[in-house]
Amino acid sequence: MSKPVFTGSFTQQEAIPEAAIDAAVAVMRSGRLHRYNVVPGEAGETALLEQEFAAFTGAKYCLAVASGGYAMGAALRAIGVGPGDKVLTNGFTLAPVPGAIAAVSAEPVFVEVTDQLVIDLGDLSAKIERSGARVLLLSHMRGHLCDMDRLMEICDAAGVKVIEDCAHTMGGAWRGVPSGRHGLVGCYSTQTYKHINSGEGGLLISDDAEVMAKAVMLSGSYMLYGKNGAVPPVDTFENVKYVTPNVSGRMDNLRAAILRPQLADLPAQIARWNALYHALEDGLRNTPGLKVIERPAEEDIVGSSIQLLLPGASADVIGAIVDGCLHRGVELKWFGAAEPVAFTSRYDSWRYAPAQTLPKTDDILAGLLDMRLPLTFSVEDAKLIAEIIRDEVITALPQAAE
Ligand SMILES: *Cc1c(COP(=O)(O)O)cnc(C)c1O
């Protein structure tokens, strides 16, 4: 009997909902795509999105921007990071995170990750001490949240400001507090592979009036900031409006129109993602030699991707598993491969930063596999994918099964 094969696409997202398409068409018919091009009495789609996202997260202020990377760069700049400053960040994240640090001519200081794929709090404390850095750009990479209470205790005690990269945790929470609400600023991406899709786009939230006023000026609000959807009182801008440069990165009404109906649907979408995630997790748990990452009870997850560990497996064995799965239609990203494929996520791929070594992170990434779970998959698909991975792991690691 031939082995089952999966035929879905790991990069195929769902269609944009009809309500979003209608809203986009209405913006195009109006001709008013620029966020500040509104008629009297009209709020504009971008300002409305800002209000709705502030309400969704519980933040006082929200700014919609051109990308998640832009949001992080604006956040760093708004809190005063400048050339030569050191910024702590995860050794395992995505290229736009160290890129945002480099964009303000600051220097990334990479922190180890644990086998739960979160920042190592012991190493964080040590590196706060050793580097003297007073800013942490914390990446909730692949949706994993660390103990956010403990992290904030460490950072508050050391006077370290926290910016959260929530590209993979929009809709997630730690002990009921939404991701992005622990630090000074939360940054989100609305790029196609994240939780709401406008092709490109980003959102930034904060309760800090001055930081937000600076971010709004940076984004290119001109003197029209009063038209934004969720901004601090106008007098906050008095001190910042002539001394903050315009680094244009606004969102436009077309993208915002596409995003608003998706934001309204997000809670239902999260439930669908988690159903896929748990089907895979259940199908793979107790596979000899393979470890699923048990999620803490404090964490509300958004299972838009899943990570698997093959601790101690050799590169040849992992290569055989990745190839075997690929032949059966299951695309796994292996973070331990010698050359990065499609995108970079390891600290040693970012050679514009001073050379650093993170032995613990190296060990973990050597055995780390990753898979996206687009909502075009069904729970049946997820079960089949789990069966294929399990089968290929057992084939490549027969001794582990004994
Ligand atoms: C996608 C992503 C971002 C932001 O990406 P943009 O493409 O700039 O919107 C930031 N952090 C992580 C971990 C990401 O995956």
168 CA to middle of ligand 1, Å?
A: 8
Average pLDDT for 12-18: 97
Verify that 171 and 44 share a domain, yes or no. yes
Q: What spacing in Å lies between the alpha carbon of 71 and ligand 1's midpoint?
A: 10
Q: What is the mean pLDDT of residues 42-50?
A: 97
Q: Is the pLDDT of residue 402 over 80?
A: no
Host domain of residue 318: 266-401
Indicate if the pLDDT at residue 91 is higher than 70.
yes
Residue 22 domain flag: yes
Q: Answer yes or no: is 226 within a domain.
A: yes
The C-alpha atoms of residue 134 and residue 213 are separated, in whole angstroms, by 21
Check whether residue 228 and residue 314 sit in a common domain.
Answer: no
| 55 in Cβ contact with 263 (< 8 Å) | no
Residue that finishes a domain, picked among 209, 241, 261: 261
Q: Is 89 in the pocket of ligand 1 (CB under 6 A)?
A: no
Q: Is the pLDDT of residue 123 over 90?
A: yes
Of 214, 243, 261, the residue that ends a domain is: 261
Report CA(73)–ligand 1 centroid distance (Å).
12
Evaluate if residue 140 carries a pLDDT over 90: yes
Among residues 99, 147, 102, which one has the least CA distance to residue 124? 147
The pair of structure tokens assigned to 332 is 């796994």
Angle at 400 between CA 394 and CA 402, to 5 degrees: 95
Q: Are residues 230 and 195 in the same domain?
A: yes
Q: State what percent of residues in the chain have pLDDT above 90.
A: 96
Mark 199-226 as b/e (b = at least 16 C-beta within 10 Å).
Answer: ebbbbbbbbbbebbbbbbbbbbbeeebe
**pLDDT value, residue 392:** 97
Query: Going by CA atoms, what residue is nearest to atom 1 of ligand 1?
Result: 167
Which residue out of 97, 198, 302, 346 has the highest number of ligand 1 atoms within 8 Å of its CB and is therefore the one to mutate?
97
Question: Is the same domain home to 241 and 382?
Answer: no
Q: Is the CB of 198 under 6 A from ligand 1?
A: no
Task: Please state the rounded mean pLDDT for residues 32-55.
Answer: 97
Query: Atom of ligand 1 at shortest distance to CA of 193?
Result: 1
Domain co-membership, 205 together with 238: yes
Rg of the chain in Å (alpha carbons) = 22
Determine if ligand 1 sits within 6 Å of the CB of residue 189.
Answer: yes
| Residue 8 located in a structural domain | no
Residue 16, both tokens: 């944009």
Average pLDDT, the chain: 96
Instruction: Summarize pLDDT for 59-83 with one digit per residue, the tens.
Output: 999 999 999 999 999 999 999 999 9
Q: Where residue 330 falls among pLDDT bands split at 50, 70, 90? A: very high
Please check whether residues 31 and 148 belong to one and the same domain.
Answer: yes
pLDDT for 159 equals 98
Res 401: pLDDT: 58
Give a yes or no: residue 167 inside a domain.
Answer: yes
Region 334-339: what's the mean pLDDT? 86
Determine whether the shortest distance from the Cβ of 96 to ligand 1 is under 6 A: yes
- CA-closest candidate to residue 216, choices 207, 225, 205: 225
Pocket test for ligand 1, best of 101, 145, 165, 185 (most atoms within 8 A of CB): 165
**Same domain for 305 and 171:** no
pTM: 0.97
Q: What is the pLDDT of residues 97-114, one digit of tens each?
A: 999 999 999 999 999 999
* pLDDT reading at 273 higher than 80: yes
179 and 278 housed in the same domain: no
Taking every pair of Cα atoms in the chain, the longest distance, rounded to a whole number of angstroms, is: 74
Confidence (pLDDT) at 338: 80
Residue 1 confidence class, pLDDT cut points 50, 70, 90: low
| pLDDT score of 102 | 98
Cα 167 to averaged position of ligand 1 atoms, centre (Å): 5
Is pLDDT above 90 for 36?
Answer: yes
| Strand partners of residue 368 | 309
In the DSSP assignment, the letter for residue 150 is H
CA-nearest residue, atom 6 of ligand 1:
68
**Interval 201-224: pLDDT, tens:** 999 999 999 999 999 999 999 999
Compute, in angstroms, the gap from residue 189 CA to the centroid of ligand 1: 6
The answer to whether the CB of 141 is under 6 A from ligand 1 is yes
CB-facing half-sphere around the CA of 34: CA atoms within 13 A: 9
CATH number of the domain to which 336 belongs = 3.90.1150.10
pLDDT at 343 over 90: no
pLDDT in tens, 345-366: 999 999 999 999 999 999 999 9
CB distance 97 to ligand 1 below 6 Å: yes
For 259-270, write each residue's pLDDT tens digit. Answer: 999 999 999 999
Q: Is 262 in the pocket of ligand 1 (CB under 6 A)?
A: no
Q: Where are the alpha helices (DSSP H) in 160-246?
A: 209-219
Average pLDDT over residues 177-202: 98
Structure token digits, residue 141: 């990479």
Percent of the chain with pLDDT over 70: 99
Residues 155-161 have a mean pLDDT of: 98
Write the residue with the smallest CA distance to atom 10 of ligand 1.
167
Domain final residue, candidates 197, 226, 261: 261
270: closest CA among 300, 298, 306? 300
Structure tokens at 11: 């990069």
pLDDT tens profile 361-392: 999 999 999 999 999 999 999 999 999 999 99
Let me know if residue 10 belongs to a domain: no
137 lines ligand 1 (CB under 6 A): no
Mean pLDDT of 290-308: 98
Q: Does residue 57 belong to any structural domain of this protein?
A: yes
Q: Is the CB of 163 under 6 A from ligand 1?
A: no
Clarify whether residues 28 and 118 are in a common domain.
yes
- Calculate how far, in angstroms, residue 270's C-alpha sits from the geometric centre of ligand 1: 19
Ligand 1 pocket mutation pick from 142, 188, 189 by most atoms within 8 angstroms of CB: 189
> With a 6 A CB cut-off, is 374 part of the ligand 1 pocket?
no
Domain count, the chain: 2
pLDDT given at position 307: 98
336 pLDDT higher than 90: no
pLDDT at 400: 66
